[in-house]
Structure 1
C-alpha cells in the first residue's frame, strides 16, 4: 500500500510538471514554483539557440607542408555526418531502443510520462519512459559541449532533480519548434558518446567496425544503439558478451517497432538471424591518435607537434580551442627534412644512449618568413625514458646547456657593427690571455686556446674558422660586453636572452626568479659570454643562422603556414613581425666571414666532406664538455645541432664513435666538430639533394 501511495504522489507530481512545462512554452515567466524567472527564461532561450546551432567539439587536424595529416588534437573524437549519411538501420535502432514515439511527440512524450507514472504507481519509483531523444540531446549537449565533458558537467547535466528535468524538457519543447525531427535525430547521433573516447555515430562506426554510418548493417547499428545506454560497461573493446546481449535487446525492440516489417513471422525470422550474427568488432579498434606523443611514423614528428602547440598558445590561441575547434592547421614541417634530421641525430647518438641527447632544428631562411622545416632528436617524443623517449622539447626549448664557441659569432657581429674590426683585419690571438676587464672572483679572467698554435695574429675570418678563445675575449673587451649580449638577442637568441634566467628556467611573471640570462651576464660583467656557457635553444641557434643568410632579416621561427577554422575561414595569429636588427651589408659580410669553417683548417672541415654547397658554419664546445654544438646555413636552409647531457647529473661527453658519459674527472670530451657537425652535414646532404648550389652574398668593403 505504501508503494502504491508513493506512486500516486509521483503521478500527481508528473502531471503538475507537465502543466508547468506547457505554461513555460507559452509564457516566459512562471511564478509560484520558482522554476523560471525572466533571467532563467533568457538562459533557457539562449541554451535552446545554442543547441539549435549545434556547434560540436571537433578534431583539429595538423598537416605537414604538403597537406598530409601528421597529428590530431581533440577532447572528443567525432566525425560529424549529415542525416542522409546515416543508414536507416541506425536511425531505426536508436529510435526503437531510446524513443519509439520520436516522430509522434513534440519533444516531451506525455504518453511516456503517463506510462512512467503508472509504473511508479505499481512499483513505487519512476524508472523509465520519460526521456525523449530530444531531451537526451539537450542533456548530452549540456554535458559534452557547454560543460566540456568534465565529470562535474556530466553530473550536473544528469542530476536527478525536478528542476533539471523541467529545464531539460522546456528546452526540448523549444527545440522542436525550430528544428525538424531529422535535424534533431542527426544532432543526437553526432553528439552522443559511444565509449572508448568516441562521440557520434561517425567515429563509432569507424572505431568499432571500420566503416561509415551509411553502411551500417542491422547487427552493427543495433550494437551501437545499445552502447549509448552504458558505453563504459558495454565496451566491446574489452569483451563482446555484454555488448551482444544488449545488441540483441535492441534488435528485439526494432522487431517490436516494426523496423523489419509488419509481418510478425517474417520480422521474427529476421530478428533471429540478426541476433545470431557475430559481434563483428575489429580486433584493434580504429581509434584516432591523439596529441603529439607518437605523431608520425617512427615516431618522428612529436617534437615539431609540441612546438606547434606551444607556439599557437603563445601567439593567440587557447589550448581548449585547439582541442575542440576542429581547425585545419597546415604547418611548415617538411617530412623529408624531419626524417633526415631524425636519422642523422640518431645515427650519431643512438636513442637509448644513457644521458646523451642529440637535437637538431632546421629553418628555411627568408625575408618575409622563417619557416621551421624540422625539429628532431635522437630521442623520440614521449614519456618512456627507458625506451629512449623524452617529454622535453629538446630541439625547441631553451636547454640549460651552452653552445660554446658559436657565441663568438655574436662578438664578431657586434665588433663589425661598432667598427672595431673588419673580417679581413687581423686580431690578437695569444695562446693564453688574462683579461684587463673581466674578473674570475678576485683574479683576472684568464683563458687559453683549445690548442696552441704558431699564430699570434690572424684575420677575423680565420679566427671564426679556427676558434681561438683568447682572440674573442680581447675582441669582446674592445666591443663591449653589453653590445655583444644585445647582438645575440638581435640575431635570434630572443627567448634565450630575455625569457629565461641563467639556469635556463622560464622567467616568472613577477620576475622573482630573474634577472633574465642576458641581463645577468651584463650585471656580472661576465666575459665568458663569448665562449657560450649559458642556456641555449637549438631552434633559436638555427634561426640565428637563418637571420644571417637572410641579409640580416630576423623573423620568428614559425611552424605555421595556414590555419582554417571548421568553416574554412582563415585564422590569424599575433605573431611578431619580421625586423631588420642589423644592416644587410653587415649580415652578408659576416656570412662571408663564417664561410671558412668547412674549408681546410676549419673546425668543421672533417665533418663536411661530400657537402658542396656554399655555406656558413661555426662549431662550439663548452669548457666542461657537457655540450657541443654546430650552427650552419646555406642560402636555402639553416640549421643547428646540440649534443648535450640530458640525465639527472651532467657529465663529460666523450668518444665520438659511440658517445657516452665519462664522469667529471678532468678528461677532455667531444668537440663541436664531432657528433654535432656530422649530424648537421648528414642531414643537410639529404635536405639539399637535387638542389643547385646558391652562392652567399658578397662581402661589403665597409665591413672588410
Structure 2
C-alpha cells in the first residue's frame, strides 16, 4: 500500500508540474507561481528549495565558466603545465561547427528551437514512460534545463558549497521544478544560440574532468571545434549521456561509443540535419579510424610538468604570493585554477633542461649519499629566472614522504616561494664584502693587518654594537699578514674578510648585500639584519640563502651594477585576453658600474685565471669566466658565477639537515675532505657550458675592466 501511495503522489506531482509548465508559457512565470504551492505541498523538498528559485546570483555568462590556465615557457609556445578545476577552453558559437551544434540538438533536445525552455512533450513522454508504462526512468529535460543544471553545479563547486551541490544534482521533483522555472526565465533573457553556446562549453565530454567541446575536439580528433565533421560531431555528442562509459579514448569503450555515435547519426538524419548519403557514409566508417587521441593534460598542476615541475611550482607560488592576482590567497587560487589565464613565464627550455641534467649528472637521483644538488640561473639586467636544476623527481603527493628521491620542495628558491631554509653559502659571499669595501672608498689592493682572533666590538655600526672575540681561521688554520682584499678573494681567506669588517663595519657589508639583491631564505627572516644572520660570521657566508638569491647577487655584478628582483612571468592574459599586472623586476642601478667591473675583474683574473680556488670553473673556448667557490664547514659545497648574459649558482649538500661530507662516496667518487672545486664547481661549469652552447650565446670577453682608483696598492693598519 505505501508503494501505491508513493506512485499516486508522483503522478499528482507531474500532473501539477505539467499544468505549471503550461501556465509558464500561457500566462508567464509570475502567474504560474499561484499554482506552484500546490506542488510544493506534495513534496517537502520542493518547499525547502523555494527560496532559491530566483535566477538572481546565478551567472549564466559563458565567459565566466571555469577555464584552465596555462603556463608557457619563454618561447611563448611550449606549455609547461595547465591548472584547472575543469579542463575547459571556452569558445564562441561561431567557432563551433554547425555539425556539432546539430548533433547535440539531435541527441539531447530535438525540439530545442521550438520550445520556450521546457519541452512539454518531452516531460509528458517521460512521465508516461516512467510512471504509466513502468519503463526505464526518463527525465525529459530540455537542453536548456541541462545547461541550468550544469551551471548550478559549477557555481556550487566554485562556492565550495556541498549543500548547493547536492541540491543541484539530487534526483527529486524539487530539482526538476527549479530547473524548469529557471529554464523558462533563461529563454526570455538569452537567445537560443547563446544557450547552445553555453551548453557546448559547460557539458562534460569525457573522463578526467574533460569539459567543453573545444577540449573534446582536441582530445579525440586533434582539431578545433570549428573543424569538426559529421562523424566527429556525432561521436562527441554521444558522450554526454555517460562520459565515463562512452569516452572513445578508452579502448574497451570503443564498441559502445561507436554504437552511440550511430544513434546520433540516425537522429541527425531523421531530423533533417544531414543527408542520407552523409548518414550512410558516416555510419559505415569504423570509429577507430576516425580517432586521433591526444595526450592532453589529464592531470592538473605541476605534477605533470616533468622536468619543468620545479619551475612550474615557482611560478605558482609567485602568483599565490602576489596581490596583483587577488586580495586573498583563496582568490588567487581560484583565479589560477578557473580563470583561464595564459601565463608567459621566463623559463628558458634549454636552460632548465641543462640545469636538470647537470644536477642529476652531478649526483644521480638514487645515489646512496642522498645529497641534494640545487641550481638556479637568471638573466642579468632583467631579473628573468631561466631555470632550475634539482636532482630529485618532483612529486607533491603523499608518495614522496617516504621516498628520498622525490620532493615538491624547490631547494633552489626561498622558503616563501616553495623552497627550504636555504644553504649556508660560505665563501661565495666574499664578492659582497669586496663590493662593500670599494663602496667605502677603499682599493682592493690595500694591504690589511690580519689575525686569527678579532675583537668584534670593532665591527660596530650605527646603533648596532658587538662585544667579545671571534676566532677565525683560513682553511689551513693559519693567516696571511698583511693581505689585500684581492689576494684574500683569490685564495678565499677568511681572516682578511674579518679585517675588512673591522675597518668598514658590519652594517656596510649588510647594506651592500641588500643593495645587491640579497635576502635570507627562511620565511619571516628575509632581512639580512635579522638576529640569525647579522653577526660577525656573516662575512664568511654563515647565512641561509637560496641559490636563486645568490645567482641574483652575482647577476648584479654581471649587469654592470644593475640589480633586478627575480621574476617568473613577463605577461599574463586573462580569459578575455586582457593583460593583467605582474610583479615587476624593478631594475635599477644598485652599485656603480666601475665597482661592478672591478669586482668582476678580481673574480676573473684572480679567482679563475690565476692560482685561485675557482680555476676549475674556466669555461670552454677560453670564454671569459667570473666565478667563486665556497664551502661551509664539512657540510655544504657551493659555486656561483656568471658571464655577461647568464648568472648561476650551484649548492650541494643535504638540504634538510647537516650531513658531514668527510670520507663520503658521492657518485662513485670518494674524498677524505670535500671542497667546492671537487663537485660544485664542475657542476657549475657543466651547466654553463651546456646552456651557453645549446642557446648559441655569443662570447663577450670585454667585461671586467677594473677602475684605477680601486686597484691602487697601499698599506694600512687596523
TM > 0.5 fold call: yes
Correspondence 1:310 to 2:323: no
- Map 1:210-359; keep pairs closer than 5 Å: 210-213=222-225, 220-238=232-250, 240-241=252-253, 244-245=255-256, 248-249=259-260, 251-252=262-263, 254-255=265-266, 258-259=269-270, 270=280, 274=283, 277-278=286-287, 286-288=295-297, 290-295=300-305, 299-315=306-322, 316-317=324-325, 318-354=332-368, 355-359=370-374
CA distance in 1, matches of 2:432, 2:51: 64
CA distance in 2, matches of 1:181, 1:310: 42
CA deviation after TM superposition for structure 1 residue 311, in Å: 1.5
Equivalence for 2:194: 183
Name whichever of 404-413 and 227-236 sits farther off.
227-236
What is the root-mean-square deviation of aligned Cα atoms in Å? 4.0
- Map 1:346-495; keep pairs closer than 5 Å: 346-354=360-368, 355-366=370-381, 369-383=382-396, 388-398=405-415, 399-400=420-421, 401-419=423-441, 421-430=442-451, 432-433=452-453, 435-437=455-457, 444-451=469-476, 455-495=480-520
CA distance in 1, matches of 2:469, 2:375: 36
Deviation string, structure 1 residues 316-339 (Cα, Å, up to 9, x no partner): 221321222222222222222222
CA deviation after TM superposition for structure 1 residue 402, in Å: 0.9
CA deviation after TM superposition for structure 1 residue 124, in Å: 7.8
8 Å CA contact 1:598, 1:608 repeated in 2: yes
Secondary structure at the counterpart of residue 44 of structure 1: coil
Select which of 134, 138, 148 maps to 2:148: 138
8 Å CA contact 1:61, 1:73 repeated in 2: yes
Name whichever of 131-140 and 145-154 sits farther off.
145-154
Equivalence for 1:637: 646
Structure 1 residues without counterparts, runs of 5 or longer: 501-505, 508-513
Correspondence 1:61 to 2:67: no
Deviation string, structure 1 residues 259-291 (Cα, Å, up to 9, x no partner): 486999x799949x8389455686976322642
CA distance in 2, matches of 1:25, 1:211: 43
Equivalence for 1:511: none
Secondary structure at the counterpart of residue 422 of structure 1: coil
Deviation string, structure 1 residues 148-181 (Cα, Å, up to 9, x no partner): 3968364342234555444433332233234333
- Map 1:464-613; keep pairs closer than 5 Å: 464-496=489-521, 500=522, 506-507=523-524, 518-521=529-532, 526-575=535-584, 577-595=586-604, 596-608=606-618, 610=620, 612-613=622-623
CA distance in 2, matches of 1:521, 1:438: 20
CA distance in 2, matches of 1:392, 1:424: 43
CA distance in 1, matches of 2:175, 2:603: 72
Deviation string, structure 1 residues 292-325 (Cα, Å, up to 9, x no partner): 2343xxx432222221121122222213212222
Equivalence for 1:510: none
Deviation string, structure 1 residues 325-359 (Cα, Å, up to 9, x no partner): 22222222222222233333333222322422222
CA deviation after TM superposition for structure 1 residue 25, in Å: 5.0
Deviation string, structure 1 residues 384-415 (Cα, Å, up to 9, x no partner): 76594431112223543311112223333333
Query: Structure 1 610/696 Cα, relative in aligned 2: closer, same or farther at 3 Å?
Result: same
Query: Structure 1 158/609 Cα, relative in aligned 2: closer, same or farther at 3 Å?
Result: closer
CA distance in 2, matches of 1:196, 1:281: 21
Correspondence 1:155 to 2:166: yes
Query: Structure 1 54/363 Cα, relative in aligned 2: closer, same or farther at 3 Å?
Result: closer
Query: Structure 1 557/29 Cα, relative in aligned 2: closer, same or farther at 3 Å?
Result: farther
Query: Structure 1 515/86 Cα, relative in aligned 2: closer, same or farther at 3 Å?
Result: closer
CA distance in 2, matches of 1:247, 1:405: 68
CA deviation after TM superposition for structure 1 residue 122, in Å: 1.6
CA distance in 2, matches of 1:676, 1:325: 41
Name whichever of 315-324 and 154-163 sits farther off.
154-163
Taking structure 2 as the reference length, the TM-score comes to 0.81
Query: Structure 1 17/533 Cα, relative in aligned 2: closer, same or farther at 3 Å?
Result: farther
Taking structure 1 as the reference length, the TM-score comes to 0.83
CA distance in 1, matches of 2:588, 2:167: 51
8 Å CA contact 2:453, 2:469 repeated in 1: no
CA distance in 2, matches of 1:40, 1:24: 22
CA distance in 1, matches of 2:560, 2:219: 51
8 Å CA contact 1:107, 1:135 repeated in 2: yes
CA deviation after TM superposition for structure 1 residue 644, in Å: 1.7
Name whichever of 410-419 and 79-88 sits farther off.
79-88
Secondary structure at the counterpart of residue 579 of structure 2: coil
Query: Structure 1 659/262 Cα, relative in aligned 2: closer, same or farther at 3 Å?
Result: closer
CA deviation after TM superposition for structure 1 residue 65, in Å: 2.2
8 Å CA contact 1:93, 1:251 repeated in 2: no
Structure 2 residues without counterparts, runs of 5 or longer: 41-45, 326-331, 460-465, 712-718
Secondary structure at the counterpart of residue 530 of structure 2: helix
Correspondence 1:208 to 2:220: yes
Name whichever of 122-131 and 60-69 sits farther off.
122-131
CA distance in 2, matches of 1:489, 1:614: 27
Secondary structure at the counterpart of residue 630 of structure 1: strand
CA distance in 2, matches of 1:150, 1:196: 20
Select which of 14, 18, 33 maps to 2:17: 14
CA distance in 2, matches of 1:598, 1:653: 26
Query: Structure 1 592/252 Cα, relative in aligned 2: closer, same or farther at 3 Å?
Result: closer
